[in-house]
Structures are given as structure tokens and as C-alpha cells.
Amino acid sequence: MMIRSMAFVICLVGATMAWAQNAGPMSVLKKEAGTWDCEVRFYPDPNGQPTLSKAVETNTMVGDVWMVSDFQGEMAGAAFHGSSQMGYDPQKKKYIGSWIDSAGPYPTAMEGTYDAAKKTLTIVGIGKDPTGAEMKMKLVTVYKENDTRTMSMFIESPSGEWMRMMEVDYQRKK
């Protein structure tokens, strides 16, 4: 019984130390907790003029491990609703998550890294386009200050080139 108790304590201490080491990566997501006013620029033609719209994003931490995002606005004149779940995988040493929205029936799996020097989170997602064909996208979020950030979304073309599809400026609601 004593050996089992000691083994449990050793496992508990180890888990606590691992958790403490991974608290740093979660601080990136914790910065996004709250409600944000969004200005959305959607580029139906990557080289053309964007369509503009407004949205609101509400991000909630689930414990200290996950951030759940609720994004509601308008795209191309229609109501748009999306949701993501993001966390940090300590084994992969990458941010992981998923995205679903009202524009399509397919989820997108995402993973990426944070560059602290550039204050930039880069996430690559694999999902499907409306026809069901695999689609690769890249989301680049630059944290300007505590209350502002910009996300740029790119879609990979058949030639492997990243085409700009959307930009969102976020301003934290006071």
C-alpha cells in the first residue's frame, strides 16, 4: 500500500511539473479570452477589392487548457456563425484545434506554432471546400497590443501558392 501511495504522489508531482511547463503556451490563447469587435475583409478575388463586414467574437477559456471561440457576423450578405476549440498539445509542442461554421458541412483540423519574437501565431488547417475536395488553409494572427490583433487567412492554390482570402481586425470590447 505504501508503494502505491508513493507511486501516486510521484505521478501527481510529475503531472503538476508538466502542467507548469505548459502554462506558458496557454498564455497565448488566454490573451484572446473576452469579447471582440471584428472588422472583416473578405477577398472573393485575392487580387481584387474586399467585401467589408462586421462581426463579434466571444472567447471563453475552458479551465486552463482550452479556448472556445464563438464568431458571429455576416459574410457576402448572409448571416455567418463559426466556432473553434484551441489548445496546446505538449507532446507535439503545437497548438491544435478545430473549426466549424455555418458556411459548410465539413470541420477543419488545425495545428501550428507561436513565434514570441514576432508575436505571431501561425496555424495550418486541413479541411474541405464546398465540393468536398481537400483544402489547405493558413491562419496568421499578429498580436499588436493586449487589445488588438489581426488575423489573415490564406488558401493554398493547386500550384502551392498561398492566396489571401480574408483579414480580420479584432478590437477588444471594453
* In the predicted structure, residue 19 carries a pLDDT above the cut 80: no
Mean pLDDT of 134-155: 95
Catalogue the long-range contacts made by 148-155 (C-beta closer than 8 Å, 24 or more residues apart).
148/172, 149/32
* In the predicted structure, residue 161 carries a pLDDT above the cut 90: yes
Nearest CA-CA partner of 71 in 61, 83, 79: 83
112 Cβ contact partners less than 8 Å away, ≥ 6 residues apart:
94, 95, 121, 122, 123, 124, 139
Confidence of residue 1 (pLDDT cuts 50, 70, 90): very low
User: How many whole angstroms separate alpha carbon 123 and alpha carbon 165?
Assistant: 15
Set out the domains of the chain in order of their start, with CATH numbers: 2-172 (2.40.128.20)
Specify the pLDDT at position 131: 84
φ/ψ region of 93 (left if φ > 0, alpha if ψ in -120 to 50, else beta) reads: left
Confidence of residue 89 (pLDDT cuts 50, 70, 90): very high
Strand 120-128 and strand 134-145: the pairing is: antiparallel
Cell numbers for 82, please give them. Answer: 463559426
* In the predicted structure, residue 13 carries a pLDDT above the cut 80: no
DSSP code at position 44: S
Instruction: List Cα–Cα distances, 26 to 4, 86, 172, in angstroms.
Output: 32, 10, 19
149 Cβ contact partners less than 8 Å away, ≥ 6 residues apart:
32, 141, 142, 143, 169, 170
